[in-house]
Each structure stands twice: as structure tokens, then as C-alpha cells.
Structure 1
Amino acid sequence: MADRMRIAIAAGGTAGHVNPALALAECLRDRGHEVRFFGEERRLEGRLVPEAGFDFFPVNVTGFDRQHPWTLVTALGHLAHEERRIARAFRAEPALKPDVAIGFGAYVELPLLRAAKRLKIPIALHEQNSVPGLANKQSARDAALIAIGHPSVADVFRRAGAREGVIHFTGNPVRRQVLEGSRVRGRTALAVPEDGTLLVVFGGSLGAHHLNTRMASLKRDLLAIPGLHVLHATGADDLEATREALALTPTEAARYRVQGYIDDMGDVLAAADLVLSRAGASSIAEIAALAVPAVLVPYPFATADHQTTNAHTLVDAGAAVMFADADIDSPAFADELLGLLRDPARRARMREASAGLGQAQAAERLADELECLV
């Protein structure tokens, strides 16, 4: 193990940024390193980071809204102020000064990384998505390490000025609570027998209305499959409308569970025989880490269609099939979904292909790279 290090992590805004950062932090803590997060108290990181037991340094920044150019002045003012404040804190308290600072792509990373550059502290980046965000592209020139979750983004960072040899593919870290998911525990909680088949449907934290309506139209065909159970997470905003569309009888509800979101994703994925979902970076990482066969429907309005690129990570490996959102009302989609649910041998081949991607080791690979910087 490397000597004990101090690592500063900036991640914020969404679960897609915060959860991979927490997965890395858990791995680093297990190796005996000291980890401190930098983020906004009012955002998701302000709750999740303290809950996970990590020190939290509050940062106050505002993003730039392209539709309102005058917000740039306020954004730059906050950025400069927070950069100076962090740098002063590092100078005043040597125990706070990190050996390396890593950003996970959100705007909140900029004051930390710029303060680190000012004090000649090595800078690292992690990019979860197949289309890098502006903050990471802005920081690429100064990074001693750029860890990526998708090989396709390497060229983007080279064009952004990344130095030769700093880009490394690590995959997207997945939190231990997901990696340690239990099939037995998940099936017990969902009342799914071991010889049953479990389909898990979710559309990300906000749900996916088109997926929800299509599932309602397929209810009879799905429940006609002997032994099939469905867990359908609709997203909080679409829960009541989906319940009305499904109109489940008590008998149907015994095999078709509808809820707004999934809390225990590790146990649920471990229990699943097939997943139907969108293709956000975190969802892809978790599905691959648990090696669950998947039918992926990328969100059609994602920036630069990056969810389609995300999905190809699994599709090209033979671990998933993909349908465009516009095509899920077709008979071909129904035939493929229902066919997979009836074909355990094909699902077993997909599961083996997914396991071969090694996604479960992403946090360890990223921790290795950070240790090499110091």
C-alpha cells in the first residue's frame, strides 16, 4: 500500500457525479488514506457525503446560464472568491492541504482545482460520461491524470489540451453498497422465489414517462410468462399516472410491484434476471458491475446523444441490447423483451459478457492511479 495520503475530492450536483466520487473515497479510506470532500451544502453532496462519514468543506459557487449571459459575472466572482478562500485554508492549515485533488466533472470542482494548481498540488479528473462536461474540459491542460469511464472521450481531452500520457481508462466507480448487493436479500425483500424470473425497470432518478407507458401496454404479455415478477420504478413524478395506466388487480399486483424509486439498488440488481432502463453513466456502471443482462433505451434528448454512446459499452460487449426511444412502441421491441425473459440461456451469455468488462474493479483502478501520482 502507498504511504498515507490526503486526497481532496470535488463532486456535486447530481448522483451521477457524487456516487462515483463516494465509491472512490470508500476505496481510498479502506487503504488508509484521508479523504475530504469539497462541495455545496445545499446540493446532493451536502447530504450524501456526511452520511458516508467523510469530512466536508463547503464551497459556494454558481453556474453560468448561457441563456442569461450576465450570470457569467456572478459566476466568475464566486469562483475567484472560493479559489482564494481554499488556497488560504491550505496555507493556514498544513493538515488540510491535500497531496492530490481530484474533480468529478461538476462546476463545483473549479475552485478546488484552481487553488491546487496555485499551490502546485497535482490535479486529477474523472469523467463518467461519454461527452465530457465543460468543467473537466477547462481543467484538462493542468491535469496530471484524467481517468475516463468511456474510451471514446480520450480524443476530446486531447483536443482540450491534455498532456501526453495522462489519460487512463478506469471505468466508473460503483459504491460498495451496490457491489455488495445480495440476490437472496433482494428476492426476499421483493417476495420473488428463487425459481422466478425478475424484470427490473427504471428510468433514472426522474423516471422515464415513455418507458412507463410502454410497460403499461405490455402488462398482459409480461404477466402471461409463468413465474415472471416485475419491479417497476416509475420516478416520483410519474408514479400515480403509471399506477392508473396499469390498473393492477390484487392478483396481478402480487407479481407486478410499482414504486417511485429504488433505494436498495445493489440488492435489486443482484436479484434481477433482466433490466430495462435508460443509459445514464451511473446506471450503466451499476448494471455492468453486477453483470445484469439489460435492454437499454437511451434518453433521446441527452446532450450529444451521449446515452447512446454509454449504452454501446454494454451492447458492443454482447451484454445488452438497445432500442431507440422512438422504437419501443414497435412489435420488435416487445418481441425482444419478452423473448429475453423466456430465454435463460441467452441471458446467461449476456451476464458472462458483462462480467468480463471488469466494471466492479473501477474504484480500485482509479485509486491505484491516484497513488501513482504522489
Structure 2
Amino acid sequence: MKVVLSGGGTAGHINPALALADVLRDRGHEVVFAGTPTGVEARLVAQAGITFVPFEAAGFDRQAPWTLVTSTLKILGSARKAKRWMKEISPDVVVGFGGYVCIPVGLAAESLGVPVVVHEQNSVMGMANKFLAKRAASVALTYEVAGKDVADASKLVVTGNPVRASIASATRAEGRLMLGVPEDATMLVVFGGSLGARHINQAVCNLKSRLLAVDDLYIVHITGPKEYDSVVECLALSEEESRRWTVMAYQDRMPETLAAADCAISRAGATSLAEISALGLPALLVPFPYATEDHQTTNAKAYVASGAAFMLPDDALDSEEFSEKLFALIEDESVRAAMRKAAGGFETQDAAAKLAEVVCRCARA
């Protein structure tokens, strides 16, 4: 079977696609990826050793109505190119993970009678997925609520959000050796997704003295590339303090980093939550307040309701409530143990296999 995967814009669209690719290739299927030439997908897909085919796509700016015309023309042009390409390779199924590039790829598939499967990572369906869901053979969801706008409910299936096998297989010992963190220390990882999170960084920096006063607490602080210099300047760590507080702009080896950690502060993006739940990592979630329809808050609610995480709104990061929740997470092993147990109920480790079954069922005979 030949499968075309498509997605773009953020790592949150690409990582679950790569997790599915791993499963499909292990089962002997051929996988190719269609994405934008300059998006993060071009780099991540190449690193995974998957054939990458570029197509131009762009959204439109509501503040600049004329961009609707230019983006539509770009998408239609790419749809024609994608159709010619698909005639050459004859795929059995196309799987879209979100991002504007999925629209021309999905339209090309539809015009050729190739089944389309959509996977939505978040609790609110993105525009591209919403568009393709009307035409899809199946719509796979991480959260059931994301399917509320799909008229044909028979298409819907909840699979969870796939994570790559490297997440599930990473070990605490391996991560701690890589990071230089003693086995018996407590480790906090701070990260805001691939772009970082300024307000989280600032709030954590403001607690520097209190955090370093905790015996044997090690902090791995992933700032995001744009925030690195300001965080380093704000913390002004001495050589001794740097032994326990590691600041980095970006971390390519997140599986080992998360496996090494005892607890985390994170945004509530789909990929971050999937990786946290796959590892059973206790977390304080701070949803990004400007996400579409506040979907990160909706994403996080299921974790909080089950007892797998704390949650705090972004505008409360400067309050005492933030430090209370953070230090409860750091200092109380019983709190972390309860969260680890609750996280096991999400079965994230099986999501890639579940999605692969949906794709195989929908593939053109």
C-alpha cells in the first residue's frame, strides 16, 4: 500500500504524522509526505528518512482581505500540481494532519477518487481539517468534542494523538546521563512548545531564588530560540547555579529529556500533551491564551479532570497560585504519583496503531 501523508505549519501537525509513518513502514507500506517547501515539515520529514514532495500553500489574513485571492490561487495551483503527481504515484490513501497544504493535497486526492483520512490533534478542529472533513472517508480525533461540526458522525473515530516510538522507549536513566542529572535528584523541565513561551519563562525566572533553595532540584529550561538570550540575562546564573539550572534555546532530544524529568511546566498544545501522557509525566499546564477558540484550555481540561495534571491560566502566572501549584508538584511525591497513575488512562502509546488501522480500512482497494 502507498500512503501520502500531508501536514504543515507547526511540529504539532508533523510529529503525529511521523508517528503514523513509523507504524505503516514497520508493516511494509510505502510512505511519502507532501508539505510546504519552507515549513518545519521539510526538515523533520527529511530527518525521518521519508520522501518529501513540496507544494506551496498559504492562509489568508482577515485584516488584509486581498490575501484571500492570492492564497486561493496558490492553493488551486498546488492542487493541479498535486493531481499530476498523484497520477504518477497512484496512492491508495491520503492522510491529512492539518495546515493549509493539506487542502490542495486533499482536493487532488478527491478528484482522483483516492480516499482521504483526516486526523485532528486538538480539541477544536482547524480550518484545513474542517474543510477536508466534509470530503473525508474517515475523521480521526484526539478529543471527541473536536468532531462536533462534522455532519456525518459515522465518519468519526477517536484514536488519540500518535507519538513516535522514541517517546515511549526513552528511559529515565538515558535522559539523566545525557543531561548530567543525578538519579536521586528531582528534575523539573520547563518548555513552551517549539516556539517557547515568554510569560512562562518570565514567571519561572522570577522564582529563581526559591527554586534553587530546594535541595537537589535540577531544572532544564527550554526557552524557545527567540527567548534564550533574555532568559539567560534575567537568570544571570553563577557557575555553581548553572550546575543545577540548564538553559537551552531548543532541544532536539525531547524524548530523553521528558523521560528524565519528574515534573514539567508546559503549554497545552496537542503534541506536548500527547508526549506528557505517553510518559505519565506530572505537569502544570498553562494553556496559550490566544490559541484558536482557546483550544489549549479545552485540550488540558481532560487531563486536569482525570487528575493527571494541574492547570493555571496564563494571566495567573504572576500570582501566588502559580508558585503554590509548582512547589506542590516539585516537593510532594504523592501528588506526582497520583498524576502518573491518572495519565495511564489515556492510552496514548496505542494511538499510532489505532490510526494505522483506520488508514488501512479506508485505503482504496
Both proteins in one fold, TM over 0.5: yes
Say if 2:327 is the partner of 1:338.
Answer: yes
Does the CA contact (< 8 Å) of 2:16 and 2:163 recur in 1? yes
Pairing of 1:46-195 with structure 2 (within 5 A)? 46-91=42-87, 93=88, 96-156=89-149, 158=150, 161=151, 163-195=152-184
Q: Distance in 2 between matches of 1:27 and 1:153?
A: 24
Note the C-alpha offset of 1:330: 1.6
Does the CA contact (< 8 Å) of 1:41 and 1:47 recur in 2? no
Q: Distance in 1 between matches of 2:219 and 2:134?
A: 47
Q: Distance in 2 between matches of 1:231 and 1:77?
A: 45
Does the CA contact (< 8 Å) of 1:36 and 1:54 recur in 2? yes
Does the CA contact (< 8 Å) of 2:172 and 2:256 recur in 1? yes
Say if 2:23 is the partner of 1:34.
Answer: no
TM-score under structure 1 length normalisation: 0.93
Equivalent position to 2:4, from 8, 30, 37: 8
Q: Distance in 1 between matches of 2:57 and 2:208?
A: 46
Equivalent position to 1:208, from 182, 197, 205: 197
Give a deviation string over 1:178-207, Cα, whole Å, max 9, x none.
Answer: 222221111012211111100000112221
CA distance 1:212–1:85, shift in 2 (3 Å): closer
Note the C-alpha offset of 1:85: 2.4
Q: Distance in 1 between matches of 2:325 and 2:54?
A: 48
Q: Distance in 2 between matches of 1:90 and 1:240?
A: 45
Equivalent position to 1:283, from 272, 277, 292: 272
Say if 2:341 is the partner of 1:348.
Answer: no
Q: Distance in 2 between matches of 1:313 and 1:289?
A: 15
Identity among equivalent pairs (%)? 47
Say if 2:243 is the partner of 1:243.
Answer: no
Q: What is the one-letter code of the residue matched to 1:133?
A: G
Aligned counterpart, 1:253? 242
Q: Distance in 2 between matches of 1:281 and 1:273?
A: 20
Note the C-alpha offset of 1:66: 2.1
| Structure 1 residue ranges (4+ consecutive) displaced by more than 6 angstroms after TM superposition | none
Q: Distance in 1 between matches of 2:76 and 2:3?
A: 22
Say if 2:21 is the partner of 1:25.
Answer: yes
Matched position secondary structure for 1:124? strand
Equivalent position to 1:296, from 275, 285, 294: 285
Does the CA contact (< 8 Å) of 2:283 and 2:329 recur in 1? no
Matched position secondary structure for 2:31? strand
CA distance 1:332–1:69, shift in 2 (3 Å): closer
Q: Distance in 1 between matches of 2:357 and 2:311?
A: 33
Matched residue count: 363
